[in-house]
Structure 1
Amino acid sequence: MSNKLLVRRAAVLGAGVMGAQIAAQLTNAGVDTVLFDLAAKDGDPNGVALKAIANLGKLSPAPLASKALAASIAPANYDTGLALLQGCDLVIEAIAERLDWKQDLYRRIAPHVAPHAVLASNTSGLGINALADVLPEQLRPRFCGVHFFNPPRYMHLAELIPARTTDAAVLEGLETFLTTALGKGVVYARDTPNFIGNRIGVFSILATMHHTAAFGLGFDTVDALTGPAIGRPKSATYRTADVVGLDTMAHVIKTMADTLPNDPWHAYFKTPKWLEALVAKGALGQKTGAGLYTKRGKDILVLDLQAQDYRASAGEVAPEIAAMLKEKDPAAKFAALRGSAHPQAQFLWAVFRDLFHYSAFHLADIAETARDVDLAIRWGYGWSLGPFETWQAAGWKQVAGWIAEDIVAGKAMSAAPLPDWVFDGRDGVHGAEGSYSPAKNAKLPRSALPVYRRQRFPDPVLGERSDPGETVFENAGLRAWHDGDGVLVASFKTKLHTVDDQVLAGLQEAVACAERDFRGMVIWQPREPFSAGADLAGALGLLQAGDLKGFEAMVADFQATSQRIKYALVPVVAAVRGLALGGGCEFQMHSARTVAHLESYVGLVEAGVGLLPAGGGLKELAVRAAQAAGPGGDVFAQLKKVFETVAMAKVGTSAVEAKELGLLRAADVVAFHAHETLHIARQQALVLAESGYRPPLPARRIPVAGDVGIATFRMLLVNMLEGRFISEYDYEIASRIATVLCGGEVDRGALVDEDWLLRLEREQFVALAQQEKTQARIAHMLKTGKPLRN
């Protein structure tokens, strides 16, 4: 039997926070989705589901890639809509975490589930086998757990939990669908409470809470210690609890206490008194406006347990601890933390020690390999390294010895011994050949499922090596390489993949090389972002040194590079993920096609630094407006949409939104898995090449909106200026943008060519760059990373 899961239509049962957002992500991915909930007491029987769908547009971060997609989700209820299940290929149950409720629902829907359909429960910790037991015999092979992390659009992790009766082919089909169609990182978990991510992640939070009290540290100090300082998200520990909801936190801890009575750490699975007190008085964190933190005016206050009140949040890492954490060598860092008498260092060592101890002790029962644990924690909790990677980097044997000493000395949270495999002479659990599996007592390679061939560079764990491909040439800004498939790949080497003269020279050489020796070319970066745009620091340096000629030459070179991409004799495809701003956006606009990861942030943001797009971006928008208007059509009407996008420096917060803003084209491809963008882009380049690709003919007769267009845009701007929506300097920048988009002070409908528009771009850009206010905006952006509105 084929293990391909064909999903034409899906159903999500339960329109709560998770269910509605899972339905949103399925819809983002182009899956026709029905969202079920209980029948409403009065009015439209689908009222509950309808309300949840309407609410999707109000949530932040946005669950829908475009607000317009809400209309595609079909609402239904269990009383009158169960017949709809018969047309569904995938049914995901996401109702409240109560075994009896879930089992009742399964009994109710079972007669309506199609004989080929897959049924999955999005439970965060209930027993998958216990749920499978109530299903009819014929449905059990097609049932498993699939645990999405919240919010499901943005969290990469999806845990797959087979029941004893699940068919292997069903799991492979679902894994393939989750990976490519929904863009998830799939990890298999055993059917144990809380699976992998939350079992280890919540334990880490409990250990942190325990040691916070033991070392007498403030919540804000612990957040300063357990955030980016150790490679974890800014929200660290207690801020994360506030965001998740303190009631949810208390519920998860209670679940661990109830379901893991024999865990050697069970004594710590209890809600701290302060957490009980906050929940009792309704201070549940961010959703109620107060929890461990609260805001008064602009100030962030933190709960002080001694004073039983909020105080100014000032938690800081002690200077000597900050110095230890900056140490590049992990072994030296851990030795310093363990050896220090400072309470902050002792706290950090204790938190890591107990996390390592717990992870090693439970590895065999919760997962097949150490890789599954590390990836689950990285993808589900946003850590830069998982627990086993951190331990291995710090020196496996040395750290294992220290943990063992602490267990004997009674300093560890539990007296449970470390498993024997920890001390079998190994230097870690990950290596080039794979990751350690206690069950097989061997290092196992990654999955050989065909879907993973689409990931040329999968997210690596420590110690994994990947073949970098064969270098064709490289300079200080760019490396061009290939895999022998006829497609040249150009990857930038600059910080944030900004564009400097070396990148421009490298791209021009890469295009020439691709035309000569390859069938196509892809611009792709091994890590996000795609490109944060032009190298502002270099540009500002030229201006401040008074080298106007050098500055003008750089702008002309940028435009020439964009045109070289557009008119290359082989297709150039841009593979975008993360930020594609300014010049980065312009390069993809000039490529034959763009493949953009769903979570791409695309925008022409030059106005924010007092400039306008001059890498050919405005020229390209003017050309597209003329093409869209057609012969004798209204060019101005087409320009209106994009003018606001550029003048307000709007950024599409998804690839779908970037299409709506006119920054991506209708034919551009949206990819859901970040690690598949290179594969898809290469396939697109080959398809275009196979189809007999020729670059577009030069646009020599472009009708423009001219002086009438410019005057009309200025009227719109005057209204915004009078309404105080923009500053006087914003008005000046926007009028210059209008001037270029409309083709300059020429008659309406006049015909110009691309060179004319490029010259206008350059002139207006260079004029703005010489203004004091623009230079102040650039300097402010470089210093603070935020736009200055002067």
Structure 2
Amino acid sequence: MSSFQVKKVAVLGAGVMGAQIAAHLVNCRVPVVLFDLPARDGPKNGIVSKAIEGLKKLKPAPLGVVEDAALIQQANYEEHMDVLKECDLIIEAIAERMDWKTDLYHKIAPFVAEGAIVASNTSGLSITTLSEALPDSLKPRFCGIHFFNPPRYMALVELINTPTTEAAVLDDLEAFVTTALGKGVIRAHDTPNFIANRVGIAGMLATIHEADAFGLTYDVVDDLTGKKLGRASSGTFRTADVVGLDTMAHVIKTLQDNLGPVGSGKVEDPFSGIYGTPPVLARLLEAKSLGQKTGAGFYKKVGRDILRLDPESMDYVAGGAKADEVVGRMLKKPAGERLSLLRHAEGAEPRFLWAVLRDQFHYAAVHLASIAETARDIDFAMRWGFGAKQGPFELWQEAGWLQVANWIREDIEAGKALSTAPLPDWVFSGPVAEAGGVHTPEGSWSASGQKFIARRKLPVYARQHFPEDVLGANAPAFETAGTTLHEDDAIRLWTLDGANGEAGDVLIASIKTKMHAISPDVAEGLALGVELAEKGYKGLVIWSNHEMFSAGADLQSMLPAFMMGGAAMIEGVEAELQKVMLKLRYAAVPVVSAIRGLALGGGCEMAVYSARRVAAMESYIGLVEVGVGLVPGAGGLAYIARRAAENAAKSSNKDLLPFLLEGFTAAAMATVGTSALESRKLGYLLDSDVVVPNKDELLFVALNEARALHASGYRPPLRRLFPVAGRNGVATIKGQLVNMRDGGFISAHDFHIASLIAGVVCGGDVDAGTLVTEEYLMTLERKAFCALLEHPKTQERIMGMMSTGKPVRN
């Protein structure tokens, strides 16, 4: 196993990408020093200081918590070059100028530590050419590392080697980027714009071309090429605005400078004809309309209205047009039927979509051999770098490989395609045709190697029990893996068997309901899980391999009971749910919640009542019941009161109220932690909990946390009484709420709900310091919850949320 460790990273260049890469390193608790040129005026670190201040204002936020900006060490090339000697990884992220980059390499070379890796975050320049500026001793430890913007949120990182890069260097870097930074890594050949931008930007240019050919407006195109097509919701033109039209133009120029037709003296590319800068883009660039950053691009926001550009007049006109509903219905059909309908339809919109898909299939197949090791790399690049649910090869394969291939060939021969280049021979004959596609359980197709190649088996990937994989790979499915002890429509209780077939030693509970909502059946299943775990396992892990942990209690499942017996019927349901939460807390074995995505309302309560939480970095945790006119009803407020008492007990200040206010405010304002780090600040995660950068490692870490707790002699907390703030605390909080209500900051119903929350977290009408139990507070919680259920304003909020998915403010 490699001994390579990254104890500190240097990022060279405090521009948009460099600063955000530094921010993500800080999020992942990797020490980082950010370099830039010395400022001409004022402090020498002025350029870096300004960039770090800018991080605090960016949206989406590059930092998990804004205060962590202070953890980025500041440096400049004049005073701090010796700091580079402390760094195991140096990431160069200055402007895309070959001469500037090579000049910087000459300067840093004497200061690079022995064994350190140097990597360029270029988006398309030749890594091999860049390496030539380095001394021979550094060339084996140099490569390309291409983060996608914004680095915190985009999963993709491309690694690019040179002929002199040592294989072990790429392996070490892939392991670090995967597990420490939480990224999906693909390895790209050293070709212009690598894989994702090569295929993605070509696809955007093709879309612009086809939109013009079919006479479609930008808003309709974005509606067609967004979620309806299984791609990022921003579609094509909105994505260009968000990325920046200058950035897009730069990537296009890299294609123009390096690729051309036969005889051009450039690398031959049969699609080079589409690499010209679209006239409308050229005019926007000339007008300095660069998209979101300048307030205008293909779209412009005026007040609350989003206007679209009219390319003929270059004026902004009313936008918001949608695609034909018939096309939307076509896109919901199975893949084969869907593509057939699009190809053979009469209307402009479906024929446009077929053209866009055909162009991408055609482009990916023709270029596979030169830009990527396997088809899997192209599909992952489009998923992780451009937000597609499927890569082009996956969709092609799902729709019927040879049928789609023949359609593409017919269009090429009819002159409908963007290039006359034929599909490669391997498409129609040999292993791919026989297998029905490029992805098989054996591996994915390598056009350059003319064989199927399995995924790279680095030790870091042993931490991913159910990694994301491509269609056709027949990767293990968690729904059927291991040994099932109990399963119904709501939950599965199972163990992950060992490599040699031995039964797992930790029980896993996977919720199956829509959005993993906590219904009475789920609660019953969790209770059973605790009982089974206590009888013969080292712990219980609550985990589901989907985009969310739990969106909260299943209100819809409660409606029949409410209609039959009113709030009295619901009180019994809530009491059972509260008992389950206490059962999780006081289980004889550790219960570990493995959180990813949303953990809201009851999901948050399920997490805080566990012995330990293991959370993916992008976890969004909070008590949000106020949004539907309710208070947390499964122990969330009891948790806030207990935590305040525990924190006060550790302080010399015995006044409970200061320790209570943050938890009260978070519940009353339905505040959600927008990262695992922010959720820790709000008290939903503790310092002892684990934040995991890579979502696919969540189960591995959670199982090992349960085992470690068991091995250390885990005992559940003892049930004890704790003090509450009492009626004085309620009065103090309500005094502040009155000011907010009278100032118009909250509605009368918000005031009513917040007052009820205050009453519960302060323990009701009792003296300050009165000792209470969790069960006592849960009783107050239930009464407040059920009283609100019968309130007309709350019923309006519940029905509004269920019908529109958006909170009603009344």
TM-score by length of 1: 0.98
**C-alpha deviations, 1:351-400, integer Å up to 9, x for none?**
11111011011101111111111001100000000010010011100000
- 8 Å contact from structure 1 (residues 540, 775) kept in 2: no
Q: Using a 3 Å threshold, how does the CA distance of structure 1 residues 444 and 400 change in structure 2: closer, same or farther?
A: same
Where do 1:101-112 residues align within 5 Å?
A: 101-112=100-111
Deviations 1:228-268 (A, max 9, x none): 11101111001111111122222221211111122111111
Task: Return the offset for 1:541.
Answer: 4.0
**2:567, 2:787 within 8 Å by CA — same for their partners in 1?**
no
Residue in 2 that maps onto 1:635: 656
CA shift, 1:307, in A, is 4.4
Structure 2: distance between partners of 1:518 and 1:568: 12
| Structure 2 equivalent of residue 580 of structure 1 | 599
The corresponding residue for 1:277 is 283
Between the aligned partners of 1:538 and 1:26, the Cα distance in structure 2 is: 43
Match of 2:676 among 655, 671, 675: 655
User: SS state of the match for residue 491, structure 1?
Assistant: strand
Aligned mate of 1:668, from 671, 680, 689: 689
The Cα of 1:78 is off from its aligned counterpart by: 0.8
SS, match of residue 283 in structure 1 = coil
For residue 23 of structure 1, give the secondary structure of its aligned residue in structure 2.
helix
Q: CA deviation at 1:296?
A: 2.4
- Checking the alignment, whether the CA contact within 8 Å between 2:124 and 2:251 is kept in structure 1 is no
Map of 1:473 onto structure 2: 486
Q: Name the CA distance, whole Å, in 1 between partners of 2:355 and 2:809.
A: 46
Structure 1 stretch displaced more, 248-257 or 53-62: 248-257
User: What amino acid does structure 2 have at the position aligned with 1:443?
Assistant: F
> Shift of residue 157 of structure 1?
0.4
* Aligned-residue offset at 1:607: 1.2
> Which residue in the other structure is 2:327 paired with?
321
Q: Which residue of 1 aligns with 2:264?
A: none
Q: Establish whether residue 745 from structure 1 lines up as the match of residue 765 from structure 2.
A: yes
Aligned to 2:500: none
Task: Give the counterpart letter for 1:320 in structure 2.
Answer: V
Partner of 1:461: 470
Distance 1:614 1:37 in 2: 52
Q: Does 1:623 align with 2:642?
A: yes
Q: CA deviation at 1:544?
A: 3.6
Choose the corresponding residue for 1:704, options 697, 712, 724.
724
What amino acid is aligned across from residue 372 of structure 2 in structure 1?
Answer: A
Which residue of the partner structure matches residue 424 of structure 2? Answer: 419
Q: Quick one: distance in 1 between partners of 2:186 and 2:628?
A: 43
Q: Which amino acid is 2:297 matched to?
A: G
Shift of 1:282: 1.6
| SS of the residue 2:289 aligns to | coil
Number of aligned residue pairs: 787
Please, what is the CA RMSD of the aligned residues?
A: 1.2
Amino acid at match of 1:165: T
Who is 1:366 aligned against?
A: 371
CA distance in 2, matches of 1:170, 1:305: 48
Q: Which residue of 2 aligns with 1:693?
A: 714
What do the CA deviations read for 1:122-163 (whole angstroms, capped 9, x no partner)?
000000100111100111111100000000000000001011
Q: What's the offset of the Cα at 1:496?
A: 0.6
Q: Could you report, residue by residue, the CA deviation over 1:543-570 in whole angstroms, capped at 9, with x for unpaired residues?
A: 3444433211110111011011111111
Are the counterparts in 2 of residues 543 and 770 from structure 1 also a CA contact under 8 Å?
Answer: no
Q: State the distance in 2 between where 1:57 and 1:552 align.
A: 44
Moved more, 574-583 or 605-614: 605-614
Q: Deviations over 1:673-713 (max 9, x none)?
A: 011111100000000011111111112x2111111111111
CA–CA distance in structure 2, aligned partners of residues 476 and 25 of structure 1: 39
Q: What is the aligned counterpart of 2:736 among 716, 729, 738? A: 716
How far is 1:316 from its partner? 2.1
Query: Where in structure 2 are the equivalents of 1:548-627 lying within 5 Å?
Result: 548-627=567-646
Cα distance in 1, alignment partners of residues 513 and 708 from structure 2: 30
Deviation at 1:315, TM superposition (A): 2.5
User: CA 1:320 to 1:133, structure 2 compared with 1: closer, same or farther past 3 Å?
Assistant: same
**Separation in 2, partners of 1:734, 1:212:** 51
Distance in 1, Cα, partners of 2:122 & 2:247 = 14
SS at match of 2:138: helix
For residues 301-380 of structure 1, what are the structure 2 equivalents within 5 Å?
301-327=307-333, 329-380=334-385
User: Are 1:492 and 2:511 counterparts?
Assistant: yes
The whole-number CA distance in structure 2 between the counterparts of 1:372 and 1:718 is: 58
Distance 1:592 1:530 in 2: 16
Deviation at 1:275, TM superposition (A): 1.2
CA distance in 1, matches of 2:112, 2:84: 6
The answer to whether structure 1 residue 776 and structure 2 residue 796 are counterparts is yes
Q: Quote the Cα distance in structure 1 between the aligned partners of 2:249 and 2:48.
A: 28
Whether 1:190 aligns to 2:189 is yes
1:435 matches 2:438: no
Q: Distance in 2 between matches of 1:732 and 1:617?
A: 18
State the alpha-carbon separation in 2 of the partners of residues 315 and 413 from structure 1. 27
Runs of 4+ that moved beyond 4 A: none
Q: For 1:771, give the aligned amino acid.
A: H
Which stretches in structure 1 are left out of the alignment for 5+ residues? none
Name stretches of at least 5 consecutive residues in structure 2 with no aligned partner: 261-267, 497-502
SS of residue matched to 1:192 = coil
- Does residue 767 of the first structure (1) align with residue 766 of the second (2)? no
The equivalent of 2:777 in structure 1 is 757
Deviation readout 1:604-652 (Å, 9 max, x if unpaired): 1111111111111111121111111118822222101211111111000
Question: Displacement, 1:17?
Answer: 0.1
**1:586/1:617 contact within 8 Å kept:** yes
1:576 alignment partner, SS class:
strand
1:314/1:713 Cα in 2 relative to 1: closer, same or farther (>3 Å)? closer
For 2:768, what is the secondary structure of its paired residue?
coil
Contact 2:465/2:696, CA 8 A, preserved across alignment: yes
Q: Counterparts of 1:37 and 1:478 in 2: how far apart (Å)?
A: 53
Please give the secondary structure, in 1, of the residue aligned with 2:549: coil
* Greater CA drift, 281-290 or 113-122: 281-290
Partners in 1 of 2:303 and 2:11 — Cα distance? 41
> Alpha-carbon deviation of 1:102?
0.3
User: Out of 492, 495, 498, which is 1:482 matched to?
Assistant: 495
Normalising by structure 2, what TM-score?
Answer: 0.96
3-state SS of 2:548 partner: coil
Q: Which residue does 1:23 correspond to in 2?
A: 22
1:501 to 520, 523, 528: 520
Separation of aligned partners in 2, 1:85 and 1:158: 23
